[in-house]
Amino acid sequence: MDVLRIVRWMVRAEWPVRVLSPVIGRYNPFHPSFRRDPYRVYRRLQQQAPVYFSPALRGWIVSRHGDVVRLLSDPRLSCDRRQASMAKKLEIFESMRPDLAQAVLRSLLMIDPPDHTRVRRLVSRAFTPRVVDRLADSTAGRVAELLDAMEKKGDPDVIRDLADPLPLAVIADLLGIPEEDRVRLKALSNDFVGLLDPIQAEGGIDVMERAFDGLLAVLHRLFAARRREPRDDLVSGLVRAGEQGDVLSEAELDSLCLLLLVAGNETTTNLIGNATLALLRHGEQRPVLGGGPEALRLAVEEFLRFDSPIQATDRVATEDLEIDGHRVRKGQVVGLLLGGANRDPAVFARPDELDLSRADNPHVAFGHGVHFCLGAQLARLEGRLAIGGLFERFPDLAARGDAGPWKRSLVLRGLQALPVELRAAAA
């Protein structure tokens, strides 16, 4: 892990900007201007090098919609990052604490079929449209409570007061986490999510390990309670599956619940924040939100496309293969730019314009194929209720100072702050 520590230090010192820019090439996600607006870079890649080998990242970067969709379903590309040549060379997973490494490696984000199919089947019943619809009333209540509290503050901030607390409250409700265990969950989740982007994570591996221990302590108390007194809920079902060792191992149980608790938290926060910023900048689109449930549904899909909460994912080649005439070697990483695919002019008319009435919208903000986001329906519900509720109560919401800064990440895109001025509807 010493090599990664050095790389992180170089990133924070902006060495890639000041010293390494000449050798980084066309795709430089370390540059501050990229965090502000990555879409110009994506467009240049699509026009000049849609399948591009990045010397800085030692992997391939793919930016066109058609290629991204196809490769997300290609069985020759694996989610098991242990197979990456660079991971082996740096001994990334070997250098982790064993229990943390197991939790990471057994995550749904890191396993392929048939294990992925087996584990996903156990939890997918908690995220069917019918189950998610049953959460609508309680989620709407959460939104109302947060907006009530936000209205009383002298310095309202959409990220701090709405986008941050809502997703964690909803998933904690779904898992049945007691109120007394929720106090530190957001901070722990933010620290642990650095595993999705370890090079630019604000803390090092020590911070992630402490967050891992804290989150597991909460989950293990919950598991123990459900073993003593089972309920008709998701965690009780997973605990029972875990007790049948051939169905779900302890490491898989830990990993799955960690993923449920953490993964949808950061991404839904970014959806709400990015959507609000888009509406602050494109006020002419606000009336669309008042057009009823279908109009709001289309609007959320456009927010997901226009400024995707997850900008990139990656896969590892399990054999030599060819992408658009380029030879990808076994063990090389293929980075898939979801944010670029969602602005591909070959698929989307006027891709750089926000159009909340856009009906033809095959975005890949939730991925594609067998790893399509498990919590997509829940994220959509939260997005509709949060964004719709915010602008229904404050139709003339205005920015208060500058938004941001943007979070430092190669994978996630979201604001750290979004201060606003609340303006309620006229009586």
Q: Note the pLDDT of residue 265.
A: 83
CB 220 within 8 A of CB 181: no
Rounded CA-CA distance 388/298 in Å is: 12
The confidence score (pLDDT) of residue 199 equals 55
User: Does 140 map to a domain?
Assistant: yes
336: its two tokens: 């898939």
In a domain? residue 275 = yes
State the pTM of this model: 0.90
Of 330, 288, 266, 252, nearest to 78 (Cα)? 330
Low-confidence ranges of the chain (pLDDT < 50): 1-23, 427
**Span 243-267, pLDDT tens digits:** 566 677 888 889 888 988 887 788 9
Q: State the residue range of the domain holding 265.
A: 2-421
CATH number for the domain spanning 338: value is 1.10.630.10
Q: Is residue 412 part of a domain?
A: yes
Q: Length of the chain in residues, anyone? A: 427
What's the confidence (pLDDT) of residue 139? Answer: 96
Alpha-carbon gap, residue 420 to 418, rounded angstroms: 6
Please count the other Cβ atoms lying within 10 Å of the Cβ belonging to residue 130.
Answer: 8
Residue 103, domain member (yes or no): yes
DSSP 150: H
Local structure of 53: helix, strand or coil: strand
At 200 the pLDDT is 55
**pLDDT in the model for residue 8:** 47
Joined tokens for residue 162: 């709405």
Q: How many domains does the chain have?
A: 1
Question: Is 361 inside a domain boundary?
Answer: yes
Residue at 426 is within a domain? no
**Number of Cβ atoms within 10 Å of the Cβ of 360:** 7
In 3D space, the residue among 402, 100, 415 whose CA is nearest the CA of residue 266 turns out to be 415
| Any domain includes 173 | yes
How far apart, in whole angstroms, are the C-alpha atoms of residue 14 and residue 9? 8
- Evaluate whether 238 touches 250 at the Cβ level (below 8 Å): no
